[in-house]
Amino acid sequence: MNKKILSFIMASSALVLGACSVQTEDEVNDSGTDTNQNVETTEKVSLEILGMGSNETDMNIVRDQLIKHGFDVELNTQPDYASYNSQKEAGNYDLVMNSWTTVTGNPDYAVRSLFITDGDYSTISNDEVDRLINEAALETPDNYVDTYTELEDTLVTENAYIVPLYNSLKAQAFNNNLLDSESIRLSKSRAFAWEPVSFVDEAMNETETVMYTQTISDLTSLDPIKANDGSINQLNTNMYVRLVNLSDDDQVVSDGSLSYNYAIAEGNEEYYFVLRDDINFAKVENDEAVDTGEMVSGQDVIYSLNRAKNPDSVPDHRTFSLHEHIDEVSLVEDLSELEDINLSDGSGNMLDALGKDLDSPIETLVEEADDVDNAAGDYQVVKLTTTEPFPQVLNYLGHQSAGIVSQKQLEAVNTYDIDSFDLNEDVPYGDQRAVTEGDSYDNHLYASGPYIMLKKNDYEATFQRNPGYMTNSDHSANIKNASVRFISDEDSALSALRAEEIHFLYGLNETKYDIVEEEDNLELQSMPSNGVSYMGFNMDDREVSESKDLRKSILYAISQEEINSAYEGNKLKAYSTLSPLIDTGNELTADPQKVEDFYEAYLENQ
């Protein structure tokens, strides 16, 4: 998705029922998946692994490992995300290779959408998994490690709902002859921020286009609540401002957000944000970004977050589970209320916390956007109440799905009836058809962030700086024009960087690091990421759906060490999507004896 989400969801391969020849002792030892055990394998069921061509390396390694343990494996390799997703929705797989990035930096995001019953991307239903996810969500970091460890044990050790493969490094490369190295941020979780980027020659910021890239050209939706994948995570993050942001090391901050300051009230159920008044919505007219003159207001915040938490606010809502702990969002009207509220850490009152370092102190709280004037001391303060004490709500407010949209524009565009919505007839806000060149083009976007998309085709999407975004601050976008080239093949993207056809490559395979490091005009940045690759099982009407023993047999056939060697040792071990965030002590070790034992248990229960 990287989420990332990117998060994005990556390819996997399909497993079909069949048989394979018995593995010899030498073959077991040569595979790297066995240390001191000599186990004769038996013929096993066939497995179908679904995936995309971009994940070919992982698919081939996993296939070979499973074959060595007696499974017959068929790869269902799709050329792009759209066809891959169609195969996945049709259930044409036993195993599917996924990738998940915890782009909010908090462990609840690493598990809720993926594994809770009826989660946005969940295919499992387990009462104990649900209980542990909800219990850990309400605990502080000092207490939730044990709960998340128990969750991981239930998810992987006991039920083998997923097969973990590895935790990746996060890497990006850029042309340091053209782009100023000091302006390039590498963040652990959040998508790449475009607004700080500058050319070395600052005069080029107004005349030249900075060229980025991403693999997926088919955009799920530019409505931030309707998508949570690698096709839009970077784009929506840069098109919609949020109440808070994540720093490069995953701390929740107000820097570059819609709020000057935020604070938590005693009891951890009430969260307050003092809003800035120097962000206007942008729209597109005659292929140019223009300032609408409409301030991003507290009313837009209330509207955006209420629709974000409501699963029925739009057809195909894909992010509501991230915001289900939001109870009420409102504007504070009485200044004295803030003076009477103590902070959660006992360090003072709410008014002092919200007013810290403001150019003008808070003199008046106003309700109407037209009455806001920060320079005169007239501010809007948003109060968000959660259903129960839930500090992780702040991380979710930094996610692209909490981007602030224009109530006026959304209501003008989304005139369809939800119950009778027809995708063939209705074009909802954020639908890529509205920004795609051709007969369907009718750009209706209102962007609250530093950039707005002008248009797209199969080759690229073009963007322009929001002329109404923090124009007199350090957070206004430096470069006027940006392009995102759609290059699905990683090698082709790297070639484009080397040929100066693009300036920045977001995401780089570990096997290509040395190529970048050997070129003087290229610079590599890398760090451990929150991204985990894993295989998920088809939990609907397949052999693997019904038998956890069969799933465990497959689990212990996988050697993470062997996979890591294919990436020159640059992958990190993982046991679940929680691994980059919490040290549970769990580790997957390939074990041929367990492969056979669990397979025998599976056969006995047939």
> Does the structure show a pLDDT above 50 at 60?
yes
- Quote the pLDDT of residue 39: 64
User: What percent of the chain is modeled with pLDDT above 90?
Assistant: 81
Q: Name the pLDDT band for 318 (thresholds 50, 70, 90).
A: confident
Question: Do 253 and 245 meet the contact criterion of CB atoms below 8 Å apart?
Answer: yes
Percentage of the chain surpassing pLDDT 70? 93
- Of the candidates 562, 563, 550, 561, the residue with the CA atom closest to the CA atom of residue 595: 550
Res 217 pLDDT > 60: yes
**Which residue, among 475, 301, 479, has the nearest Cα to 381 in the 3D structure?**
301
Question: pTM of the entire structure?
Answer: 0.81
Q: What are phi and psi of 194, to 5 degrees?
A: -85, -30
Compute how many other C-beta atoms are within 10 angstroms of the C-beta atom of residue 407.
18
Listed residue (519, 445, 28) closest to 238, CA to CA:
445
pLDDT in tens, 162-197: 999 999 999 999 999 999 999 999 998 889 999 999
Residue with token string 């300051």:
261
Highest mean pLDDT among 117-121, 403-407, 417-421: 403-407
SS3 content of the chain, % helix, strand, coil (to 5): 30, 25, 45
Structural domains of the chain in order of their starting residue, each with its CATH number = 14-168+529-604 (3.10.105), 177-219+430-520 (3.40.190.10), 246-278+297-405 (3.90.76.10)
The residues, ordered by sequence, that sit 6+ positions from 4 with a Cβ below 8 Å of its Cβ are: 100, 101, 103, 191, 229, 230, 233, 531
Tell me the pLDDT tens digit for each residue of 222-276. 999 998 888 999 999 999 999 999 999 899 999 999 999 999 999 999 999 999 9
Instruction: Please report the pLDDT score of residue 510 as a whole number.
Output: 85
Inform me whether the pLDDT recorded for 33 exceeds 90.
Answer: no
- Say yes or no to pLDDT of 360 above 70: yes
37: confidence class by pLDDT, cuts 50, 70, 90: low
Please tell me what DSSP assigns to residue 78. E
- Residues 431-472 have pLDDT tens digits of 999 999 999 999 999 999 999 999 999 999 999 999 999 998
What pLDDT, in 10s, does the model give residues 538-569? 999 899 999 999 999 999 999 999 999 999 88
Angle of helix 141-152 versus helix 127-137 axis, rounded to 10 = 170
**Cβ-count burial 321-340 (b if 16+ within 10 Å, e if not):** bbbbbbeebebbeeeeebee
User: Does 18 have pLDDT greater than 50?
Assistant: no
Cα-Cα-Cα-Cα dihedral sign, residues 257, 258, 261, 267: negative
Average pLDDT of 332-354?
A: 94
Is-contact 533 54, C-beta < 8 A? no
* Burial of 170 from C-beta contacts in 10 A (0-12 / 13-18 / 19+): buried
pLDDT tier, 159 (very low <50, low <70, confident <90, very high otherwise): very high
Give the model's pLDDT for residue 140. Answer: 81
Average pLDDT, the chain: 91
Q: Where are the beta strands (DSSP E) in 480-578?
A: 481-486, 504-506, 522-537
User: Residue 108 above 80 pLDDT?
Assistant: yes
